[in-house]
Chains A and B, each alone.
Chain A
Amino acid sequence: MGSKVTSLADAVRPIPDGATIAMGGFGIGSGPIALVHQLIRQGTKNLTVLGIIQGNDVDLLIGAGAVSRIDASGVTLEDFGLAQNFRRAAQNGEILIREYSEASIYDRFLAASVGLSFWPTRGILGSDIMKVNPDLSWVTCPFTGERYVAMPAAQPEWTLLHAPFADENGNVYHPYRTDFAGFTELVIRASKRVIVSAEQIVDRDWALSHHRDSLMAGWKAVAVVEAPFGSHPCGLGTLYGPDAEHFREYAQASRDRESFLHYLETYVYGVRDHWGYLERIGGLPRLMKLRSSGAGA
């Protein structure tokens, strides 16, 4: 098998307009931000994003006008407030939102992860999700007669994933995972294919001696990219913490469209690639500070 290692631009290029994607991470933790930035740079449009609880990953894509629809239970910048691009797009009716609860959308990924086309649920009964989500239907249990809400499976065509280590075959290793990695593992199982970026690409010897840390076997990976600090400004597991200062700048910049376009110009369009981004945010001195704030912080 040939190496899957490629450039950021080549890794993301096959994702077409109108694709259905998902992203590893949870909330503002461990997002695949280097890949997201590249998706914005290449100008992909009309994406459908499937997520459980999403953060700045999807907010960036929405702010760049790349998203036409999102299925999720929540979008948040957590301690840094509401996700402002999401908020504005929803208020202006610029994106289609399919409302779910956290457990029900989790179950939609579960359906896809075991090859089923739908999943029954009851956790959203009585909520207004039942009124505003036109994708919901009903199913009766053939054994007990109990009625459930039926939801379509959530199968991403492409999942963007950032992790600490990957080898050239796309095997992914995450010794720094936290409890929230379980969501990422589920999304990977539900996906058709995965584009991987990693802090470091490791050789076969390293891989063989770290198999117990594997997050994903390589057969689903279609591309592997080396992108140090590829989750910034998100933290990555316990390896490095979130860049609070940058998140505050992001939250401020995304309060209106004009200033967010300026943010994109500064940090996404105005830099050639991920290396340019790392320089723009302050280079190695800034990044090493984040690294020491990760584990045990």
Chain B
Amino acid sequence: MASSERYTLEEMLAVTLARDFRDGERGFTGMATGGRTGVLIVGIPIAAMALARRTHAPNLTILYTGHIINPALEDIKGLYESGPTLAAVRCEARQSSADIFSMVERGEIDFGFSSAAQVDQYGNINTTVIGDYRRPTLRMLGAVLLPEHFTLFGREYILIEHTRRRFVPRVDFISGPGFIDGPGAREKAGLRRGGPRWVLTELGVFDFDQATCRMRVKSLHPGHTIAEVRDRTGFELIVPPQVPETTPPTDEELRLLRQEIDPHGVLLARA
């Protein structure tokens, strides 16, 4: 993973996300196992929400694993989320699973975060099978809460490693529906809100073209090129004539992340 001398990739992604959150919103992180996925869909998102709360969005609500409302960040000692570990985290309030599913199904969650084995040009993601569903070459976890992330949440951020193996023209199974197979497909399926907003990788930030619903380069992280992105993407991305650089973290944002939010580097993988 590339990083400059002044900041790390994880810090860059946290800052990029934080700037997109609005005051008063409710953001959800789900269960993740440890390792890189934990950093991508729990660590970076929690740091990003905490940063937004310390800057422009003081009333943003963090739903850590859904249950834990606005946690004491210093109590998060790792990103392996077993019951006993989470039980020790102090927080403003705790919700039951009934509360969580109420929020999910009433549409009270503004945004969530996911990763996957595959993402495609329409922002669909797959955590279910590789290959044909009936006789898969690899059976994986299953869809878990990802369908709802993409159908009932207000919007979804996908954080994923940028490789050809993951960036495929068409996912083998739609666990979380993006724009499905193009314009109008979500509406036809009966979906009224939500869907993928951005895909964030070690190379850049990607959004979706309104007319075609296809993935588009929004910005490149400093030091990375379109050629590199094309080389590591298994489908044709929309590349605007002018692609800006992702705006790097400010000194103040870095100070907040390093000194107040994540002094031990648990969330942003500096440990």
- Any chain A CB within 8 A of the CB of B238? no
Q: Which of B21-29, B49-57, B140-148 sits within the interface?
A: B140-148
- B83 contacts A74, C-beta separation under 8 Å: no
Interface residues of A in 78-113 (CB under 8 A from B): 78-79, 81-82, 86-88, 90-91, 93, 99-104, 106-107
- A91 contacts B135, C-beta separation under 8 Å: yes
- Any chain A CB within 8 A of the CB of B210? no
- B139 contacts A129, C-beta separation under 8 Å: no
Closest to A30 in B: B83
Which of A93, A99, A121, A123 lies in contact with B142, CB distance below 8 A? Answer: A99
Closest to A296 in B: B88
- Any chain B CB within 8 A of the CB of A128? yes
- Any chain B CB within 8 A of the CB of A218? no
- A126 contacts B186, C-beta separation under 8 Å: yes
Interface residues of B in 188-210 (CB under 8 A from A): 189-191
**How far, in whole Å, are A79 and B85 apart by their CA atoms in the complex?**
13
Q: How large is the interface on B (under 10, 10 to 19, 20 to 34, 35 or more residues)?
A: 35 or more
- B137 contacts A182, C-beta separation under 8 Å: no
- A82 contacts B141, C-beta separation under 8 Å: yes
Residues of B within 8 A of A103 (CB): 101, 104-105, 145, 147-148, 152
Given A182-B97, A295-B84, A126 and B141 contact (CB-CB distance below 8 Å): no
- Any chain B CB within 8 A of the CB of A180? yes
**How far, in whole Å, are A295 and B83 apart by their CA atoms in the complex?**
10
**How far, in whole Å, are A125 and B195 apart by their CA atoms in the complex?**
12
Q: Binary interface profile of A, 157-189, with partner B (CB < 8 Å = 1, else 0)? A: 000000000000000000000111011001000
- B142 contacts A72, C-beta separation under 8 Å: yes
**How far, in whole Å, are A68 and B31 apart by their CA atoms in the complex?**
28
- A87 contacts B144, C-beta separation under 8 Å: no
Which of A90, A178, A296 lies in contact with B136, CB distance below 8 A? Answer: A90
Which of A75, A128, A130 lies in contact with B133, CB distance below 8 A? Answer: A128
What's the nearest-Cβ distance from chain B to residue A193, in Å?
22
- B83 contacts A53, C-beta separation under 8 Å: no
- Any chain B CB within 8 A of the CB of A132? yes
Residues of B within 8 A of A127 (CB): 143, 147, 150-151, 174-177
- SS of B interface (majority): loop
Closest to A72 in B: B142
Residues of B within 8 A of A81 (CB): 33
Given A101-B148, A122-B152, A127-B147, A73 and B142 contact (CB-CB distance below 8 Å): yes
**How far, in whole Å, are A296 and B83 apart by their CA atoms in the complex?**
10
Which of A29, A72, A91, A235 counts the most B-chain CB atoms under 10 A from its CB? A91
Which of B33, B129, B180 lies in contact with A78, CB distance below 8 A? Answer: B33
Q: Which of A8-16, A209-217, A236-244 sits within the interface?
A: A236-244
Closest to B172 in A: A128
Given A101-B146, A102-B144, A126-B150, A237 and B33 contact (CB-CB distance below 8 Å): no
- SS of A interface (majority): mixed
**How far, in whole Å, are A215 and B136 apart by their CA atoms in the complex?**
40
- A126 contacts B180, C-beta separation under 8 Å: yes
How many residues in A have their beta carbons less than 8 Å from beta carbons of B? 56
Given A91-B138, A101-B143, A297 and B88 contact (CB-CB distance below 8 Å): yes
Closest to B85 in A: A297
Q: Binary interface profile of B, 65-83, with partner A (CB < 8 Å = 1, else 0)? A: 1011000000000001111
Residues of B within 8 A of A26 (CB): 83
Q: Which residues of B contact A (CB under 8 A)?
A: 31, 33-35, 65, 67-68, 80-88, 94-98, 101, 104-105, 128-129, 133-148, 150-152, 173-177, 180, 185-186, 189-191
- With A179-B65, A179-B86, A242-B82 known, 9 other A-B pairs at CB within 8 A are A73-B142, A74-B144, A78-B82, A123-B152, A126-B191, A127-B150, A129-B143, A129-B175, A238-B88
> What are 30 of the A-B contact pairs (CB < 8 Å)?
A53-B144, A75-B141, A79-B35, A82-B139, A86-B139, A87-B140, A90-B139, A99-B128, A100-B143, A102-B143, A102-B148, A103-B101, A103-B148, A106-B97, A107-B101, A122-B190, A123-B147, A124-B151, A125-B189, A126-B150, A128-B173, A129-B143, A129-B147, A130-B189, A186-B98, A235-B82, A238-B87, A238-B88, A242-B82, A295-B88
